């Protein structure tokens, strides 16, 4: 079967368009989705490490600083990517917020400390333009929070 001269290369052209407009965007969205899950996992680990670190020190100021430093170490790659730095001297501003010891929810006789970490994907997307694409799903920063019940040494 012979093809007309004007139809040569049509299959190659169709494949190129399918690759550019079909496969590449699908791969980009898949990559971004995997990276968003990695961010959530990193934030979960950072908040848990921060809460765990708050249990090692006695004075409240040392507990807050230790919790902030531990969370900062666990999410350092995110902070580097976003060109952010967490101020652990106060530990009260995003991306890492460590609450002062306060009565626990549901157990007012105990003291708890809450470590919250966040990453603003809309401001710092992994692939340019995907912050707007995922904006309808991720309209607030991705967050994770962990709570540690403090042992204050009271009987």
**Stretch 73-82: mean pLDDT, rounded?**
94
The pTM score is 0.81
Q: What is the C-alpha separation between 23 and 4, in angstroms, rounded?
A: 29
Task: List pLDDT tens digits, range 117-139.
Answer: 999 988 888 877 777 777 777 78
Q: What's the pLDDT at 5? A: 63
Q: Choose the weakest-confidence range: 5-9, 83-87, 146-150.
A: 5-9
pLDDT bracket for residue 24 (50, 70, 90): confident
User: Is residue 154 pLDDT above 50, yes or no?
Assistant: yes
Tokens of 148: 């540690």
């Amino acid at each position: 079967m012979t093809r007309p001269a004007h139809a040569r290369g049509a299959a190659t052209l169709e494949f190129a368009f399918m690759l550019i407009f079909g496969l590449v965007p699908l791969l980009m969205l898949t990559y971004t989705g995997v990276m968003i899950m990695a961010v959530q996992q990193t934030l979960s680990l950072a908040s848990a490490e921060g809460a765990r670190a708050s249990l090692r020190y006695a004075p409240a100021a040392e507990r807050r600083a230790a919790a902030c430093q531990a969370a900062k170490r666990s999410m350092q790659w995110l902070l580097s990517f976003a060109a952010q730095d967490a101020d652990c001297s106060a530990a009260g501003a995003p991306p890492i917020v460590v609450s002062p010891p306060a009565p626990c929810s549901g157990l007012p006789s105990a003291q708890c400390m809450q470590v919250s970490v966040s990453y603003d994907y809309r401001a710092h997307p992994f692939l340019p333009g995907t912050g707007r694409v995922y904006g309808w799903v991720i309209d607030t920063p991705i967050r994770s929070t962990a709570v540690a019940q403090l042992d204050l040494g009271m009987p």
